[in-house]
Amino acid sequence: MALWGGRFSQGPTESVAALSRSVHFDWRLAPYDIRVNIAHVHGLVSSAVISAKDGSAIEQALRELAQEVANGKFTYNESDEDVHSAIERGLSSKLGALGGAIRAGRSRNDLVVTDFKLYLIDHLLEVASALSALVEAINTQASRNLSSVAPGFTHLQHAQPILFGHELAKHSHGLLRDVDRISDWLERNSFSPLGSGALAGSALQPHPEASAEELGFIGILGNSIDATSDRDFVAEALFIFAMIGIHLSRIGEEFTLWSTSEFGWVTIADAYSTGSSIMPQKKNPDIAELARGKSGRLVGNLTSMLVTLKGLPFAYNRDLQEDKEPVFDSVETLLVLLPALIGMVETATFHPEVMSAGVLDGHSLATEVADFLAKGGMPFAQAHEAAGECVKLCEKLGIELHELSDEQFASINVALVPALREKLSAQGAIESRQSSLATSSQSVLEQIELLNSENSLAKSWISSEASRFVEMMGK
């Protein structure tokens, strides 16, 4: 159904209809569109644009339509340009001409933004909930690895010994920041554009605050021209999705690397691996690789939105219809990826004996030698030089630092006394780092406890926001 036509002597040609049509993707907005229309009808009744009797007939028909959309009895057809046209067609098929009363006092320009905001609130909360489940899976694996010793890397070269629980738990921090970004998004963007009409505000809806409140928003936006063309909230959401994608890609990369035969630190469960069509022996970490690979489209979706917005005139321009597909794609990508990744993390088997075997390779205790000298009062630059000389000697002899004799240490610097030996173990290096962010077993234990409590706060926040949203949708 077309929502315009009076001033035209010809309908759009087929190619124009095909280009301008969005219903095949924006149909996802149908439940939100109906809910916004119900709030809008309430506004029209209170401003006496339609009678209470007509208002309740329209509301009743919209509620029926919502049911039919949910159970698939009503859907879009070839004649519909977009979701708004399809819903109005559904309404008119129930109410005849009265169905068209809904269009008073609003435009698709404010309607589409309101629908889209509701879609995003709903789906950001769903993504947040999946993130929190991933944090839980990571924290559980991290607490199982509180005594697993592993080489820590910088530049992908052995750097210093760490606890493997520390290594795993680091991922939870980024993911909880993503949840925090979602909470920020909700706070900043919980303002309704409804009442803006096409761009100038509406004479028929003088109090849009009431509809905003009904839809669970904090209030209305401050400027109708901004309100109909602002897509900051879309770009921000796409940034959050891209950032999540980047975090997941780094988890994916680690699992891919750790599952190689060269590393052998983890076995990914069969149910979370795939095979090769030609090499019968292959077991590939495809879930981890997809977690890495999907970040490309998530970043691309953000980029496409930003480019669409650059230099765009105010207020509504049809370019803005390009805001939805990147969001749907990012949301759907994450909602498919996250459950698989959660399962992969939950079922992974780590091999502490393999990790610890190489922990001292690459002279990873050199910092302990320098720290020992610095603690004894030597300026660190000088201590660093002396420890470097120890490394040089080890390289020449083909041994590791702890294999140097007392004499060899003393020959490099007299301050390298036998007491140093106590410090020259992976365990010693790890346990000497006791601050709250460091790698000692007590520190990591406390870090994971803190992560768990932050995650359970996040979880209860997500579930209370989600039930508030469900309740608003059902009202």
Cα 199 from Cα 212, distance rounded (Å): 17
Q: Phi-psi bin for 148: left (phi > 0), alpha (psi -120 to 50), beta? A: beta
Q: CB of residue 238 vs ligand ARG: minimum separation in angstroms?
A: 16
How far from the centroid of its chain's Cα atoms is residue 138's Cα? Answer: 16
User: Six-digit token pair at 422?
Assistant: 């106590």
Measured from the CB atom, the residue of 105 and 152 that comes closer to ligand ARG is: 105
Q: Which of 41, 69, 102, 112 binds ligand ARG (CB under 6 A)?
A: 112
- CB nearer to ligand ARG: give 255 or 316: 316
User: Rounded to 5 degrees, what angle do the CA atoms 459, 471, 62 make?
Assistant: 140
| Minimum distance from residue 37 beta carbon to ligand ARG (Å) | 14
Q: Does residue 276 have an active-site annotation? A: yes
Stretch that binds ligand ARG, among 104-112, 131-139, 342-350, 422-430 (CB under 6 A): 104-112
Catalytic residue among 51, 56, 93, 276: 276
Q: Is residue 321 near ligand ARG by the rule CB under 6 A?
A: yes
Q: State the CB neighbour count (10 A cutoff) for residue 254.
A: 20
33, 80, 82, 236: residue in contact with ligand ARG (rule CB under 6 A) = 82
Q: How far is the CB of 317 from ligand ARG (least distance, A)?
A: 9
Q: Which of 35, 40, 89, 108 binds ligand ARG (CB under 6 A)?
A: 108
- Under the criterion CB under 6 A, does residue 249 sit at the interface with ligand ARG? no
Q: Are 258 and 344 in contact (CB under 8 A)?
A: no
Which residue type occupies 207?
A: H
Provide the H-helix boundaries in 145-267.
Answer: 164-189, 208-214, 224-229, 232-258
Residue (of 362, 422, 411, 364) closest to 389 by Cα position: 411
320 contacts ligand ARG (rule: CB under 6 A) = yes
Select 22 or 211, whichever has its Cβ closest to ligand ARG: 22
By beta-carbon proximity to ligand ARG, the closer residue of 93 and 317 is 317
Residue 152, classed as helix, strand or coil, is strand
Whether residue 24 lies in the annotated active site: no
Backbone angles phi, psi at 311, to 5 degrees: 70, 10
Residue 115 binds to ligand ARG (criterion: CB under 6 A): no
When the beta carbons of 18 and 419 are compared against ligand ARG, the nearer one is: 18
Structural tokens at position 14: 């087929």
- Active-site residue, selected from the candidate residues 155, 261, 277, 435: 155
Name the residue with tokens 């009744």.
45
**Residue 109 binds ligand ARG, judged by CB under 6 A:** yes
152-157: list long-range contacts, CB under 8 Å, 24+ apart. Answer: 152/364, 152/439, 157/362
Instruction: Name 10's Cβ contacts closer than 8 Å, sequence gap at least 6.
Output: none
CB of 85 to ligand ARG, least distance (A): 9
Residue by residue, DSSP assigns 404-463 as S-HHHHHHH-TT--GGGGGG-SHHHHHHT--STTS-SHHHHHHHHHHHHHHHHHHHHHHH
Q: Per rule CB under 6 A, is residue 179 in the interface with ligand ARG?
A: no
For residue 320, the minimal CB distance to ligand ARG (Å) is 5
The site that binds ligand ARG (CB under 6 A) totals a number of residues, namely 10
Span 3-32, contacts to ligand ARG by CB under 6 A: 22, 26
CB nearer ligand ARG, residue 80 or residue 136: 80
**Contacting positions for ligand ARG (CB under 6 A):** 22, 26, 82, 108-109, 112, 316, 318, 320-321
Just list the catalytic residues: 155, 276
